[in-house]
Amino acid sequence: MRVVGLITARGGSVGLPGKNIFPIAGKPMIGWSVEAARGSHSLGRTIVSTDDIGIASVAKSFGAEVPFLRPAELAADDTPHSLVMRHAIKWLTEDEGREPDYIALLQPTSPLRTAQDIDAAVALAIEKSADSVISVCAANPHPYWSKRILDDGRLQELVQVKKEDEYQRRQSLPEAYVVNGAIYVIRSSLLARSDAYLTDRTYAYVMPPERSVDVDTRWHAAIAELGLQMQDDGSWR
């Protein structure tokens, strides 16, 4: 299987300006993703798609390929990742003469994702002949405990459950997961025909919450820095 790692890092960011090269635990944030991708045994290439020359320079310094600059029309706040991946697949197909089997989308805002995570997600995609594998983590708080505020200020349950099915204890809750944004292994042929990554051939790669931080604000960056400074055994580096 031909699997290409694609790190997407546009220049603009509202929540945390300069987010993709924001320093975390002694490195620009994108550096953590480039190193994880290059440490993976399952990726044939690691390419960064960016519209920003500064990000491109930093990514190259960590060993990533930046063979093109992404067009401005594919670097807006609302640009779907599917269009960015199709752009990269088109370049790869023209450069190599064939389309990759899978694209492993690795967002730089997940600096705690490891090379082992990438390899495990790719292995799952190949084992299951999946359309896609998407990384998730356990939902916290659980959606059954979520509330909503009505227009008049009253508090109500977001998810209505039968009285006999009320879940007061965490241990009695059904398992629930959220997409953590760290890894999307997607078959190129699926991207050619659909913008949806979730099909009946999509499998979950479950990651622990301590590797599932998605950085969008300074608060998230501080949490990620703590995580990167902590050893596997819980001690500090």
Q: How many domains does the chain have?
A: 2
What range does the domain containing 127 cover?
3-139+178-229
Q: CATH number, domain at 59?
A: 3.90.550.10
Please indicate, yes or no, if residue 78 is contained in any of the structural domains: yes
Q: Which residue in this structure is represented by tokens 């603009």?
A: 12
Which pLDDT score, from 0 to 100, does residue 159 have?
A: 82
Tens digit of pLDDT for each residue in 162-203? Answer: 655 566 666 778 899 999 999 999 999 999 888 888 999 999
Residues 62 and 162 in one domain: no
Q: Specify the amino acid at residue 134.
A: I
Return the exposure string of 96-133: e unless at least 16 CB atoms fall within 10 Å of the residue's CB, then b. eeebbebbbbbbbbbbbbbbebbbbbbbebeeeebbbb
Residues 32 and 97 in one domain: yes
Instruction: Name the residue among 133, 137, 104, 113 with its Cα closest to residue 36.
Output: 113
Mean pLDDT, range 210-230, rounded to an integer: 92
Residues 90 and 159 in one domain: no
